[in-house]
Amino acid sequence: MDILSAIILAFWFILPAYAANGLAVVFGRGQRLNKPLDFGHNFIDERRIFGDGKTVRGLIGGTAFGTLIGALQFISGEQIALPWLSSSAPIGLWIYLASYLGASQITLYLLIYQWLTFSPLFFILMNLPLNSREILAPTIFHGFLLSFGALIGDLIGSFIKRRLNLQRGQPAPVLDQLDFILGALIFSFIEFIPPLEIIVIILVLTPLIHLTANIIGYKLKLKREPW
């Protein structure tokens, strides 16, 4: 697979984690119907468990939004895979885009990926009985694992920071950029382990994207610090 296809595929795979982590910042703002996830409690070292930067609304809102993004991806993935299989059907915009990028393999990978997530297509092709549970479960499962995993990873990152006596919002290079992505990847392995090159791309590019996004969030006054 060429590098561009691999990068696109890596982002396609990890997108719900980014969505969850980014939207937690938006949902977590404000005090109304919101509480810190540690409810203000301290750990045995007399420091906060997670701190005020990890809130109930951030966790729930981020997970819900990431799950929704994952479901939308799943549905659009079906749109790619189905016409590709029955080549008589009109070629979707995505296929067009993929072939335009010279990435016919990306379609193949997405298709395999859909199979591995036990998509409805998988059931149809394998002549397995298909019911609403089998359609709904994988549709929400992938996005949920990545988003919930991302926010749990982020939470563990904050837990470690508090143990190191870093106050809320103080930078912890590498940890701040990678905690959520490691959480997302580890949770997603329950469902599917992506090729190593995809994992490497995600781990290398995420810190750059994370820093850029945070600077934008800071300029838009969504975030308190530019990291």
Q: Interface with ligand CTP by CB under 6 A: which residues?
A: 24-25, 28-29, 51, 53-55, 58-59, 151, 154, 158, 161, 168-170, 223
Q: Of the two residues 138 and 149, which places its CB atom closer to ligand CTP in the complex?
A: 149
Query: Which tokens go with 95?
Result: 């296929």
Q: Of the two residues 42 and 170, which places its CB atom closer to ligand CTP in the complex?
A: 170
Min separation Cβ 54 and ligand CTP, Å: 4
Min separation Cβ 9 and ligand CTP, Å: 27
Min separation Cβ 11 and ligand CTP, Å: 21
Q: Of the two residues 34 and 105, which places its CB atom closer to ligand CTP in the complex?
A: 34
Query: Which tokens go with 166?
Result: 């870093």
* Tokens 């540690």, located at residue: 38
Q: Which amino acid is at 217?
A: G
How far, in Å, are 24, 187, 205, 217 from residue 70 at the CA level? Answer: 16, 14, 20, 23
Q: Which amino acid is at 23?
A: L
Q: In angstroms, rounded to a whole number, what is the distance separating the alpha carbons of residues 123 and 27? A: 37
Min separation Cβ 24 and ligand CTP, Å: 4
Min separation Cβ 197 and ligand CTP, Å: 28
Q: Of the two residues 102 and 173, which places its CB atom closer to ligand CTP in the complex?
A: 173
Q: In angstroms, rounded to a whole number, what is the distance separating the alpha carbons of residues 176 and 153? A: 10
Q: Of the two residues 7 and 47, which places its CB atom closer to ligand CTP in the complex?
A: 47
> Quick check: 136 and 36 in contact, CB under 8 A?
no
Nearest partner of 138 among 196, 78, 180, 58, judged by Cα: 78
Query: Which tokens go with 131?
Result: 């019911």
